[in-house]
Amino acid sequence: MRQILAVAAGLVVLVSACSAPAPPRSDASVPPAGPAVLPVPTGPHPVGTTVLYLKDTSRPDPWDPDVQARELKVTLWYPTEQRDGQRARYMTPKESELFLKGTGIASAPYDTLSKTRTNAIQDAAPSGRKLPLVALSPGFTKPMSTLTSLAEDLASRGYVVAGIDHTYENYATTLSDGRVAECLACDSDSDPGFGAGAVQNRAADVSFVLDELPSAWDGSGLIDQSRIAMAGQSLGGAAALATMVRDPRVRAAIDLDGTTYARIPKNGFTKPFLFLGTEQHVPGGLDNSWDRDWKLLTGWKRWIVLTGADHESFTDSPLVSGALAIKPLPGALAAARSAELTRTYVAAFLDQHLKSQRQPLLEGPSSRYPEVEFCPATCGHS
């Protein structure tokens, strides 16, 4: 698989659908700034969260041949009326340790990310009615927790978010019995066809979660099953497109800087889709998968590039970099601005296509967000 290296918040990562561990640059370290604090959600609702463990006995695990059922951890975020209570843990100390070791970060204690302060209240009672559902899928090697800021924000705006940890595809997933599943797929990511196979596995995971959610979660009666979308970062973004192609329940999807692999029907595909990514994805840029798929997307579509963004700008990585004693590179989008742009444009897309609320922000450039370029009409490449 082609590996194009880019620096993200001081980390070296792949800007294709997959990412690979590498240590931070030795000249990028700064004194740690204390525990990371995720930004407050921007919507009107307090946020609750809970975890489900689901087991798909209809198929074996794609990464462990000795496991005859696919076990998934699903984190739900949702509106609640409860404003006080225990805030959810971002990662366990063991998950933080395995994630930092796998990513090659040695600039802070290994339990650092377990101290990250979130906003969602653990196991709070859900509230609302007829809420749209958003399935969320993280990048390869990354746990679902790395998209917590986005998930919390969407829940505060009146969405139920189902974030899926794709077992054995990230450095640490704690399962129902306390076992920590590590990254078996990391041994295969250079194999021919890895990306295409991985996104189909993830699409199967998402479809299974959509099947099970009504019976597995007591709050599922809040969900409007006719209004479902999916978003993901990197390999998760590629999986969002693949899932929408194969599962008719997914009405709209968002790819956050992921190389795509799904086979789109040659006669076109009419469901709404948003590409949101870095400058490597401009027309004629380093990654041509968006050029290819743009021609086959025949419904509502937008292709947006953020100037100064890197592959991790759409995740929590910039938000926790200070706690990890990692210095952002000159010219990179500030962490708070990265989070604001990601949250704003993801929510605008979902509000338009799941809530039927027209969003002028999606019609073209905005003076409030000069970093945003609309492709292919108004963006270029170096």
What's the pLDDT tens digit per position in 4-58? Answer: 333 333 333 333 344 433 333 333 456 666 899 999 999 999 999 999 999 999 9
Q: Hey, what's the torsion of the CAs at 165, 351, 258, 208, to 10 degrees?
A: 40
Nearest-Å Rg of the Cα atoms of the chain is 19
Residue keyed to tokens 């199967």: 204
Beta carbons of 266 and 273 less than 8 angstroms apart: no
Which domains, from first to last, does the chain contain? 5-375 (3.40.50.1820)
Tokens of 120: 């969602």
pLDDT of residue 98: 97
pLDDT of residue 287: 87
What's the pLDDT tens digit per position in 319-375? Answer: 999 999 998 888 889 999 999 999 999 999 999 999 999 999 999 999 999 999 999
What's the pLDDT tens digit per position in 97-142? Answer: 999 999 999 999 999 999 999 999 999 999 999 999 999 999 999 9
What strands lie across the sheet with 301-306, from one edge to the other?
A: 87-89, 117-122, 47-56, 70-79, 160-165, 131-137, 223-233, 250-256, 273-277, 301-306, 372-375
pLDDT of residue 32: 63
Distance CA 216, CA 100 (A): 32
Beta carbons of 371 and 74 less than 8 angstroms apart: no
Beta carbons of 52 and 74 less than 8 angstroms apart: yes
Residue scoring higher pLDDT (173 or 379):
173
Q: Is 5 helix (H, G, I), strand (E, B) or coil?
A: strand
Beta carbons of 348 and 50 less than 8 angstroms apart: no
Average pLDDT over residues 299-324: 96
Alpha-carbon distances of 77 from 26, 120, 167, 205, 282, rounded to whole Å? 37, 8, 19, 18, 33
pLDDT of residue 340: 98
Angle at 355 between CA 203 and CA 273, to 5 degrees: 40
pLDDT of residue 183: 97
Rounded to whole angstroms, the maximal C-alpha distance in the chain is: 55
